[in-house]
Amino acid sequence: MSKSIADLHKKLEAEKNIHTDFKDNMTYGEYLSLDSILSSQNRLSGHHDEMLFIVIHQVSELWMKLTLHEMTAAIKAINEGQMQSAFKMLARVTKIQSQIIQAWDVLSTMTPAEYLEFRDDLGKASGFQSYQYRLIEFALGYKTAHILKIYEKDPAVHEMLEKAYHAPSIYDVAIQALSRAGFAINPDLLTRDYSQTYAGDPTVAAAWEEVYRNVDKYWELYQLAEKLVDVEDWLQQWRFRHMKTVERIIGFKVGTGGSSGVNYLKQVLDHRFFPELWDLRTKL
């Protein structure tokens, strides 16, 4: 027997315990509900590239689901003073964001002519209507009341968004953490209307500056601040790639959902979720 055949026999022997009978056991596909997932790419046209369009958006929604899972848990952890747990969750969020950003690179392989072949079949459906993306914005503190009307068709989704709209953002709980650490935070911020987008406050700016000037003393708060900057940085990179991909494929046309398309996406690039954490870089 040759050495290569003998090696093959050894490898097969090593894998003799691989399970092959699943009549009474759960399979990988059953655990992941693959039948449901892989049968959900329902093209409305016969065009080849519509499959790409659907899969990219579905994959992005799955990543957003995981982002929300981690963000919600991080908010709870910060509230409870479990900072190290929150840091792990936020670090994972930034890795997820890098995956979503790369999805735009795949979608950008579709040309304007190819997209036009099935764009009209989308009707008024648009990524602008992604309720998970709105939940992420709400969790980061960007609250927009007029957006809620989009989701009235689905009472369960609308209720979920309403709850998130009035809940404290991750930056609100970070500010509360500053207060618990002894910083003189404006008391109105600790009981404010969380449905209003945070616009900045001098007491918060002063607290973060003190944290950055005394890193050893406020190490956990410093770590928290940098994790928040990471999340916002990656989100803005996602927004930029989104804007450039849309511009590359449809130019400055109005979006299928009725937004101004590229012009709208450019406007949101100017919004800052954690203003003091960016301003202090100039002050230091």
Question: Is 173 labelled as part of a ligand binding site?
Answer: no
| CA–CA distance, 63 with 134 (Å, rounded to integer) | 14
Half-sphere exposure for 77 (CA within 13 Å, toward CB):
17
**Number of DSSP helices (H) and strands (E) in the chain, helices first:** 14, 0
| CA–CA distance, 86 with 77 (Å, rounded to integer) | 6
| CA–CA distance, 33 with 55 (Å, rounded to integer) | 16
Question: Is 272 labelled as part of a ligand binding site?
Answer: no
| CA–CA distance, 252 with 194 (Å, rounded to integer) | 34
Question: Is 69 labelled as part of a ligand binding site?
Answer: no
Residue the block writes with tokens 């989701």:
151
Question: Is 56 labelled as part of a ligand binding site?
Answer: yes
| CA–CA distance, 251 with 243 (Å, rounded to integer) | 10
Helix (H) or strand (E) holding 221: helix 219-250
Question: Is 57 labelled as part of a ligand binding site?
Answer: yes
Question: Is 53 labelled as part of a ligand binding site?
Answer: yes
| CA–CA distance, 207 with 188 (Å, rounded to integer) | 15
Question: Is 55 labelled as part of a ligand binding site?
Answer: yes
Annotated binding-site residue numbers for heme: 242
Annotated binding-site residue numbers: 53-57, 115, 119, 242, 256
Annotated binding-site residue numbers for substrate: 53-57, 115, 119, 256
